[in-house]
Amino acid sequence: MKVIRAKSAGFCWGVERAIDIARDFATKGKHPVYTDGPLIHNSQMMDRLQDEGIREVGDYQSRSNLSIREKEDTNAVLVVRAHGISPERRKYLKSLGIEFRDATCPDVGIVAGKIRIHAKKGYHTVIYGDARHPEAIGLMGYTEGRGHVVQSKEEIDALPDFGDKVVMVSQTTMFTQDFHELADYLKERFPAAVIIDTICGATKDRQGDIAVLYDNDVEAFVVIGGHHSANTRKLAMLAKRTGLPTYHIETAREVDHGEMSQYAVVGVTAGASTPEFLISEVCSRLAAIDAKTAAEV
């Protein structure tokens, strides 16, 4: 089988930066290194990080109180993951009495800054994103109570009448095409709305690579990443939109030799939280498949 791998497959730079920050503390003797929620939405990578002394506390949405033993953890450090947090959450985490390091992705920080600037001017903020996602939850904290998260035209229809002061941004990992379609729809209702495309470059590259793989005549897509990873699920959804068979798998163990042997050329991509070792294992497993060997499995 011919395997064509997307250039953008794997860690985005924001996730890689957060991991490097946590690992740097661990190698310098800071133990434990706490993260406010899972540093990365990939269980295999989290297992590796835990072995290195990096420990997840709290919950996925960064909302729960943390159980940290201040007296026993005098050498600990608390790292904020790439998704970012609200100002209120930051204030709480800093009150815990241990060393604090913010590893929020700079791209997410830019979105927060744009929201903050407009909120100070009295704007209402519309965020295209998932209201349950930690990034959107964190961004809402900068809206000064005038924020709304939407994913559909129906949710835009349900918005209150904001008048002229409306700004629309996006969670960094959303579909570019869908954002622009919703932004155009929002402008029909609020003609003076300020539209700021805040989908990050890494996400756009990842989405664009789906089209590149499709143009290379792949017969199916394999998307690697956690089954609960939001950005990986979005990537799989985008691949399905091409009409080609799409397989969302987490590890090489999920590769079905019999199923995949029907394809001569497969395109492989991966979510922003998928480590290189998992991608390499899947690509190697796929490359070893052909109709003859598959029949023998």
- Pairing of β 166-170 and β 124-128: parallel
Strand boundaries in 120-201, DSSP class E: 124-128, 147-150, 166-170, 194-195
For 93-151, what is each residue's pLDDT tens digit? Answer: 999 888 999 999 999 999 999 999 999 999 999 999 999 999 999 999 999 999 999 99
Structural domains in the chain, CATH included, are 2-10+201-296 (3.40.1010.20), 13-103 (3.40.50.11270), 107-195 (3.40.1010.20)
Residue of 96, 103, 97 lying closest to 138 (CA atoms): 103
pLDDT of residue 69: 67
For 54-99, what is each residue's pLDDT tens digit? Answer: 999 989 899 999 877 655 567 889 999 999 999 999 999 999 888 9
pLDDT of residue 297: 40
- Tell me the C-alpha distance between 56 and 78, whole Å: 10
Residue of 275, 260, 269, 261 lying closest to 240 (CA atoms): 269
pLDDT, mean of residues 227-245: 93
Return the percentage of the chain with pLDDT > 90, whole number. 84
pLDDT reading at 240 higher than 60? yes
- Tell me the C-alpha distance between 86 and 91, whole Å: 9
pLDDT of residue 73: 67
pLDDT of residue 230: 84
- Tell me the C-alpha distance between 82 and 266, whole Å: 31
Cis peptide before 191 (omega within 30 of 0): no
Angle at alpha carbon of residue 23, lines to 61 and 15, rounded to 5°:
45
Q: Which residue has the tokens 């029907």?
A: 262
pLDDT reading at 233 higher than 50? yes
pLDDT reading at 293 higher than 50? no
DSSP conformational letter for 88: H
CA distance to 7, 14, 272, 277, 294, per residue, from 10 (Å): 9, 12, 5, 10, 27
- Tell me the C-alpha distance between 141 and 146, whole Å: 10
Q: How many CA atoms lie within 13 A of 173 on its CB side?
A: 24
The H or E element that residue 179 is part of is: helix 176-189
Quick check: is 155 catalytic? no
- Pairing of β 77-80 and β 33-36: parallel
Query: Pick the catalytic residue: 135, 154, 219, 281?
Result: 135
pLDDT reading at 256 higher than 60? yes
- Give 245's pLDDT tier (boundaries 50, 70, 90): very high
- Give the global pTM: 0.90
For 179-225, what is each residue's pLDDT tens digit? Answer: 999 999 999 999 999 999 999 999 999 999 999 999 999 999 999 99
- Tell me the C-alpha distance between 213 and 92, whole Å: 45
- Pairing of β 54-57 and β 77-80: unpaired
Residue of 79, 86, 85 lying closest to 102 (CA atoms): 79
pLDDT, mean of residues 6-14: 94
DSSP conformational letter for 197: -
DSSP three-state, residue 60: coil
Strand boundaries in 50-201, DSSP class E: 54-57, 77-80, 99-102, 124-128, 147-150, 166-170, 194-195
pLDDT of residue 70: 59
pLDDT reading at 251 higher than 90? yes
Mean pLDDT in the chain?
93
